[in-house]
């Protein structure tokens, strides 16, 4: 800026250029913050994107869960559970945790061969394919705000724990 632009004028309108420069600086920082928020939202910070997609596998590799790490309250979220078992033999899957207690199950595909209440958990019997894999697709909806935990078990040694944070 030139020397004339830094000097406060009194005519035709009284100015305070030092204050005006601070306001301009504040506006530029605000624009950068807004652009950063938009970029993070596009990347999935508030749900459905690379930052929110997550996958966890049990230590023995038998159970795998794909879920949304970050989501919004009131939206539907997909949960995909894959269990490796014996070919042609059903597998038992135990679903538990606050995620499955606080959220309502909108859809459950394929239909389990058998479903039982097991304390605060849900015990499902799933059929397997020719290669011994059972895949369960769930659509969940929750009005909760905050962190919800989920647990998926297929036997004593095959357990997966995961958590989802729900924004308001």
Domain boundaries, the chain: 3-42, 53-167
**132 and 87 in contact (C-beta within 8 Å)?**
yes
pLDDT tens for the chain, residues 1 to 168? 566 566 666 777 778 888 989 999 999 999 999 999 999 988 888 777 888 899 999 999 999 999 999 998 999 999 999 999 888 899 999 999 998 888 999 999 999 999 999 888 999 999 999 999 999 999 999 999 999 999 999 988 899 999 999 998
pLDDT attached to residue 91: 94
Q: Which CATH class is domain 53-167?
A: mainly beta
**Whether the Cβ atoms of residue 123 and residue 96 lie closer than 8 Å to each other:** no
The pTM (predicted TM-score) of the whole model is 0.79
State residue 51's pLDDT score.
86
Task: Tell which residue, 41, 63, 38, has the closest CA to residue 52.
Answer: 41
**Strand residue runs (E) in the chain:** 53-57, 63-68, 70-72, 76-84, 91-96, 104-109, 114-118, 121-126, 133-141, 146-153, 159-167
């Amino acid at each position: 800026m030139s020397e004339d632009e830094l000097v406060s004028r009194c005519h035709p309108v009284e100015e305070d250029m030092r204050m005006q420069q601070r306001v301009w600086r504040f506006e530029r920082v605000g624009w950068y913050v807004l652009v950063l928020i938009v970029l993070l939202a596009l990347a999935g910070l508030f749900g459905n994107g690379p930052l929110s997609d997550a996958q966890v596998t049990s230590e023995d590799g038998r159970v795998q869960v794909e879920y949304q790490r970050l989501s919004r309250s009131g939206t539907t979220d997909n949960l995909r559970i894959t269990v490796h078992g014996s070919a042609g033999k059903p597998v038992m899957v135990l679903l538990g945790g606050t995620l499955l207690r606080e959220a309502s199950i909108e859809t459950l595909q394929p239909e389990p061969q058998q479903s039982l209440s097991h304390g605060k958990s849900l015990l499902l019997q799933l059929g397997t394919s020719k290669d011994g894999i059972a895949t369960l697709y769930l659509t969940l909806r929750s009005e909760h705000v905050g962190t919800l935990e989920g647990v998926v078990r297929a036997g004593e040694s095959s357990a997966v724990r995961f958590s989802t944070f729900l924004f308001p």
